[in-house]
């Protein structure tokens, strides 16, 4: 049954995964399949590796980042075909922002949680996020806001190098510069990166770098209910990342660290958020304190790890959005490891070259219970397609 046939025949609410990156997309559709939730991927790229999944039903859609109005019109026209209100499940910031900004236009056709764009933006917008955690006195990296040129001159005299320069809105910046932030090792480099950002009309902030290594990076994932309580939560720690310094975790491990939940829950309750949370932390080697880095109110690239550990966040989001009760799921598997092989191999090679990783440490890191970003025994084709991409067989 193809996507349009499913739309025509099913009376159940359909989940529409707003595709962005194939590891996230695969994790979401496989998690929903475990609960037999009708799912369609709205995908601007019909050559994505997600398309190789046996669970994939897709519809080609416009790119939200290129034309917001066209994207919303597409969702409305699709919604008109539904027998029941659908559920929109974004895995990217742009798509998340677009659907909440246009909630009044879309809620005739799609169910929404009782969260408005102002709350979502407090988490998506780096300036507003930093201001919020500062007001709430939640530990975070020291952040400088650039009001004007005079303010920038003042910051140049105060900041400790190296430092980082980040966009207030990250997704378009990442597409433009192929990185999510700029590292500045000197005053001259910071000025150059600042001028480049301003030239391209990006609003930016400057932050100190919290000292520590890759294993000082932690994450906390949960689904928060209407009372601001976590219904299922999981913590993890990075083993390796790619790119090195400020990249994503390409090898992570589930752990138990209650303090991460305490900090995140305080933030969620104070701002009145409801839904999926992916919070990132770094443990500061100077004071041994967890500092919050950012919070994503959406699905993320390692979303299959919680499902493997007994907590199915996409399912929770679906059930809650359509107003149905779901059982509270408990974290029950520590030390489950998640790997994204291509990036982890590249990352490991760099660690070898820098003599920061030994062969026996690398081998031992793969021991124990494992979950993979792409490979799955019951859905192996995306993995082989990925190998084909790496070796130039499939493009």
Looking at the structure, do residues 77 and 48 belong to the same domain, yes or no?
yes
Among the listed residues 386, 383, 353, 373, the one whose alpha carbon sits nearest the alpha carbon of residue 244: 353
- The reported pLDDT for the residue numbered 208 is 94
Looking at the structure, do residues 236 and 331 belong to the same domain, yes or no?
yes
Looking at the structure, do residues 221 and 195 belong to the same domain, yes or no?
no
CATH code at position 190: 3.30.1490
Residue 251: strand pairing partners: 240, 339
Residue 88: strand pairing partners: 16
- The reported pLDDT for the residue numbered 392 is 63
As a whole number of angstroms, the distance between CA 11 and CA 50 comes to 25
The pair of three-digit structure tokens given for residue 244, joined into one six-digit string:
């090195």
Contact 46, 60 (CB under 8 A): yes
123 located within any domain: no
- Eight-state DSSP code of residue 50: G
Choose one of 186, 208, 230: the last residue of a domain. 208
Does residue 109 sit in helix, strand or coil? Answer: coil
Kindly give the confidence (pLDDT) of every residue in the chain, 395 residues in length, as a single tens digit, with 9 standing for 90 and above.
789 999 999 999 999 999 989 999 999 999 999 999 999 999 999 889 999 999 999 999 999 988 999 999 999 999 999 999 999 999 999 999 999 999 999 999 999 999 999 999 999 999 999 999 999 999 999 999 887 777 788 888 889 999 999 999 877 788 888 888 999 999 999 999 999 998 888 899 999 999 999 999 999 999 999 889 998 899 999 999 999 988 999 999 999 999 999 999 999 999 999 999 999 999 999 999 999 999 999 999 999 999 999 999 999 999 999 999 888 777 777 899 999 999 999 999 999 999 999 999 999 999 999 999 999 999 999 999 999 887 665 44
Looking at the structure, do residues 104 and 27 belong to the same domain, yes or no?
yes
276 located within any domain: yes
Instruction: Give the sign of the dihedral formed by CA 22, CA 26, CA 32, CA 36.
Output: positive
Looking at the structure, do residues 243 and 380 belong to the same domain, yes or no?
yes
130 located within any domain: no
39 located within any domain: yes
- The reported pLDDT for the residue numbered 280 is 97
- The reported pLDDT for the residue numbered 391 is 64
Looking at the structure, do residues 350 and 257 belong to the same domain, yes or no?
yes
Please, what is the angle between helix 170-177 and helix 93-101, to 10°? 140
134 located within any domain: no
Looking at the structure, do residues 297 and 221 belong to the same domain, yes or no?
yes
pLDDT, tens digit, for every residue of 354-390? 999 999 999 999 999 999 999 999 999 999 999 988 7
Measured between alpha carbons, how far is residue 271 from residues 108, 123, 128, 141, 351 in Å?
A: 26, 10, 12, 20, 40
Looking at the structure, do residues 218 and 305 belong to the same domain, yes or no?
yes
Looking at the structure, do residues 103 and 252 belong to the same domain, yes or no?
no
CATH code at position 340: 3.30.470.20
Among the listed residues 326, 306, 304, the one whose alpha carbon sits nearest the alpha carbon of residue 316: 326
| Structural domain boundaries enclosing 344 | 214-390
- The reported pLDDT for the residue numbered 395 is 47
- The count of domains in the chain is 3
Put simply, whether the predicted model's pTM sits higher than 0.85 gets the answer yes
98 located within any domain: yes
112 located within any domain: yes
CATH code at position 87: 3.40.50.20
DSSP states of 196-257: HHHHTT--EEEEEPPP--GGGEEEEEEEE-TTS-EEEEEEEEEEEEESTTT-EEEEEEEE--
Looking at the structure, do residues 226 and 195 belong to the same domain, yes or no?
no
As a whole number of angstroms, the distance between CA 167 and CA 197 comes to 8
254 located within any domain: yes
Choose one of 164, 187, 208: the last residue of a domain. 208
As a whole number of angstroms, the distance between CA 2 and CA 279 comes to 36
Looking at the structure, do residues 58 and 36 belong to the same domain, yes or no?
yes
Looking at the structure, do residues 283 and 355 belong to the same domain, yes or no?
yes
Choose one of 179, 208, 237: the last residue of a domain. 208
- Eight-state DSSP code of residue 328: P
């Amino acid at each position: 049954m193809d996507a349009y046939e499913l739309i025509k025949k099913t009376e159940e609410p359909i989940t529409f995964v707003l595709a962005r990156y194939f590891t996230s997309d695969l994790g979401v559709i496989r998690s929903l399949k475990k609960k037999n939730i009708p799912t369609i991927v709205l995908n601007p790229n019909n050559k994505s590796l997600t398309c190789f999944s046996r669970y994939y039903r897709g519809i080609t859609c416009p790119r939200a980042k290129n034309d917001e109005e066209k994207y919303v019109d597409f969702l409305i026209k699709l919604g008109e075909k539904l027998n029941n209100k659908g559920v929109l499940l974004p895995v990217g910031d742009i798509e998340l922002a677009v659907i909440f900004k246009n909630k009044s236009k879309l809620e005739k056709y799609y169910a929404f949680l009782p969260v408005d764009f102002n709350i979502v933006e407090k988490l998506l917008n780096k300036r507003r996020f930093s201001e919020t955690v500062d007001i709430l006195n939640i530990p975070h990296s020291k952040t400088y806001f650039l009001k004007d040129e005079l303010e920038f001159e003042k910051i140049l005299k105060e900041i400790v190098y190296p430092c980082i320069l980040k966009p207030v809105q990250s997704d378009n910046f990442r597409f433009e510069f192929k990185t999510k932030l700029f590292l500045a090792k000197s005053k001259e480099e910071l000025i150059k990166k600042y001028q480049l950002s301003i030239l391209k009309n990006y609003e930016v902030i400057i932050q100190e770098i919290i000292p520590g290594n890759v294993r000082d990076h932690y994450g906390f994932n949960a689904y928060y209910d209407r009372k601001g309580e976590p219904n299922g939560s999981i913590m993890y720690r990075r083993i390796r990342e790619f790119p090195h310094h400020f990249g994503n975790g390409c090898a992570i491990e589930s752990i138990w660290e209650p303090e991460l939940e305490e900090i995140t829950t305080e933030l969620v309750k104070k701002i009145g958020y409801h839904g999926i949370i992916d919070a990132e932390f770094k443990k500061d080697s100077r004071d041994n304190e967890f500092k919050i880095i950012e919070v994503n109110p959406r699905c993320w690239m390692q979303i299959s790890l919680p499902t493997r550990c007994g907590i199915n966040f996409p399912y929770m989001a679906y059930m809650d959005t359509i107003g149905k009760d779901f059982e509270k799921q408990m974290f029950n598997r520590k030390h489950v490891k998640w790997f994204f092989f291509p990036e982890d191999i590249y990352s490991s090679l760099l660690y070898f070259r820098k003599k920061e990783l030994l062969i026996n440490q690398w081998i031992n890191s793969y021991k124990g219970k494992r979950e993979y970003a792409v490979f799955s025994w019951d859905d192996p084709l995306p993995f082989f397609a990925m190998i084909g991409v790496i070796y130039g067989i499939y493009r």
